[in-house]
């Protein structure tokens, strides 16, 4: 009987040709391609992010402008007007003449402003919006500028001929942190 010799599988080491992987040059080329792709992606996304922030600033500016206009409109027309909504208006017969001064008669204390004229040339940074610190946190970087002029002919310009007892144009300019100006204007008539 012949014995057949069993051949055991031999352990063979892989040859260099059968090994697979990336060379250093291939890795460097891959990194360069990825960095170019990310830079293109970033230049496309950044303007969109900037535009979305612009919309948020517009909304905040509208809120801030409207609240400032509401605050001003709630005040009396003039220093010599009846503050309690009396029968006579300043400048009418039998009443005190309207003040020709468009300035703060309350010496800068905004909480003491009692008429529209007091707000003329008011400039507020976000740090002085009010007593509530949460307002300052919401409106970081915003600035408010207020201008009040006599404008009896409703043309938007202050003329020397304007009757000081008819109407005042209140212009509120809100400047956002991105340096965009939003202008809100309203007339306050003497009534």
Q: What is the pLDDT of residues 90-142, one digit of tens each?
A: 777 777 777 777 777 767 677 888 888 889 888 888 655 555 555 667 788 89
Please provide residue 110's backbone torsions phi and psi, each rounded to the nearest 5 degrees.
-60, -35
- In angstroms, the Cα distances linking 148 to 43, 115, 131 are 44, 11, 24
Does any domain span residue 26?
Answer: no
User: H-type helices in the chain, by residue range?
Assistant: 24-73, 133-138
Task: Give the pLDDT confidence score for residue 181 in this predicted structure.
Answer: 92
Q: Which residues of the chain have pLDDT under 50?
A: none
Does residue 137 lie within any of the structural domains? Answer: yes
What pLDDT is stored for residue 169 in this prediction? 92
According to the model, what pLDDT value does residue 107 have?
73
What's the pLDDT score for residue 139?
A: 83
In a domain, 22, yes or no: no
b/e code 77-115 from CB counts within 10 Å (16+ = b)? bbbbbeeeeeeebbbeeebeebbeebebeeeeeeeebeb
Residue 4 belongs to some domain of the structure:
no
Q: What was the pLDDT predicted at 131?
A: 52
pLDDT value at residue 102? 79
Residue ranges of the alpha helices (H) in 15-172? 24-73, 133-138
Does 3 fall in a domain? no
Question: Positive or negative CA dihedral for 106, 108, 109, 114?
Answer: positive
Domain extent, residue 131, equals: 32-189
Q: Rounded to whole angstroms, how far apart are CA atoms 53 and 30?
A: 34
Residue carrying structure tokens 């009443």? 95
Bridge partners of residue 173, in order along the sequence: 145, 183
Q: Would 168 be classed as within a structural domain? A: yes
Assigned domain for 15 exists: no
Instruction: Judge whether 162 lies within some domain.
Output: yes
Going by C-alpha positions, the residue among 122, 90, 127 that lies closest to residue 108 is 122
Q: What would the two tokens of residue 10 be? A: 């031999």
Number of domains in the chain: 1
In degrees rounded to 5, what are phi and psi of residue 135? Answer: -65, -40
Q: Whole-prediction pTM value?
A: 0.67
């Amino acid at each position: 009987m012949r014995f057949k010799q069993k051949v055991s599988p031999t352990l063979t080491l892989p040859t260099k040709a059968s090994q697979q992987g990336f060379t250093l040059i291939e890795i460097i080329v891959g990194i360069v391609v990825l960095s170019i792709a990310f830079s293109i992606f970033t230049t496309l996304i950044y303007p969109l992010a900037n535009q979305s922030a612009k919309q948020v600033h517009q909304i905040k500016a509208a809120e801030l402008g409207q609240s400032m206009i509401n605050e001003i409109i709630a005040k009396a027309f003039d220093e010599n007007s009846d503050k309690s909504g009396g029968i006579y208006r300043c400048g009418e017969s039998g009443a005190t003449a309207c003040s020709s001064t468009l300035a703060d008669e309350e010496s800068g204390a905004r909480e003491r402003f009692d008429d529209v004229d007091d707000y003329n040339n008011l400039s507020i940074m976000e740090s002085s919006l009010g007593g509530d610190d949460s307002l300052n946190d919401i409106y970081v970087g915003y600035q408010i500028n207020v201008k009040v002029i006599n404008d009896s002919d409703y043309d938007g310009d202050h003329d020397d001929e304007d009757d000081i007892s008819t109407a005042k144009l209140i212009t509120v300019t809100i400047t956002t942190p991105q340096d965009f100006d939003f202008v809100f204007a309203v007339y306050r008539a003497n009534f």
